[in-house]
A and B are shown apart, each in its own frame.
Chain A
Amino acid sequence: DTGVSQDPRHKITKRGQNVTFRCDPISEHNRLYWYRQTLGQGPEFLTYFQNEAQLEKSRLLSDRFSAERPKGSFSTLEIQRTEQGDSAMYLCASSLVSSGANVLTFGAGSRLTVL
């Protein structure tokens, strides 16, 4: 078990470009989450999947953001027409839903800088 993997770790892009982040969760986990974190703030929920179904999406998530989890394995988060306000750390987490704790295991994050 290598934990939650995210790629790339760092991305610098120009305003208006599209970017895509990939997340590989812990293999036996059935839930996958995306969060966004800006400097000095706690992570902010974006969306989550159970297997391949996207169950909840934040109202703060604009139409420029889309997430997929084909076949219930890895997930991608795409941001279209990036804006400077999109600069943040994008965190992926996974969990195994069972009775009791739903403990999220986070990856190291993908840091996005929009120039």
Chain B
Amino acid sequence: EDQVTQSPEALRLQEGESSSLNCSYTVSGLRGLFWYRQDPGKGPEFLFTLYSAGEEKEKERLKATLTKKESFLHITAPKPEDSATYLCAAVGGTSYGKLTFGQGTILTVHP
């Protein structure tokens, strides 16, 4: 069974303090690794898709990377508006419709 585990569960940073979020996955035949951002009371918002080990993608202060077992979401010089829950999800095997999500990392950035 596909599994996705995120760490830490919660992360508190000062504005400008860079850090990384971890996503470990056990998926048969990975077809895609996704990062989403979720604000309270809202649905997840797409950030990145990664397909193969070594791939990297960037968007503003965020950079996602992928290895054969993990993905990292690096946050450089975060701002308070980056505070949210960050979700990692994987798609594998023959089911291209089913994303398996981790439990999320709650990020709080203090001014």
**Are A and B co-members of a single complex?**
yes
> Which residues of B, 9-54, contact A by the 8 Å Cβ criterion?
32, 34, 36, 41-46, 49
CB of A56 within 8 A of CB of B46, answer no
Interfacial residues, chain A to chain B (CB-CB below 8 A): 4, 31, 33, 40-45, 48, 50, 55-56, 91, 93, 97, 101-109
In the complex, chain A residues whose CB is within 8 Å of the CB of B91: 102
In the complex, chain A residues whose CB is within 8 Å of the CB of B36: 106
A97–B97 Cα gap in the complex (Å)?
Answer: 9
CB of B44 within 8 A of CB of A43, answer yes
Q: Which of B4, B43, B96, B102 contacts A106 (CB 8 A)?
A: B43
Given A33-B97, A56-B95, 19 other A-B contacts at CB below 8 A?
A: A31-B97, A42-B87, A42-B101, A42-B102, A42-B103, A43-B89, A44-B101, A45-B100, A48-B97, A55-B97, A91-B44, A93-B43, A101-B32, A102-B32, A102-B96, A103-B46, A108-B42, A108-B43, A109-B43
B99 within 8 A of partner (CB): yes
B104 within 8 A of partner (CB): yes
Q: Which of A4, A48, A103, A104 has the most C-beta atoms of chain B within 10 angstroms of its own C-beta?
A: A104
In the complex, chain A residues whose CB is within 8 Å of the CB of B42: 108-109
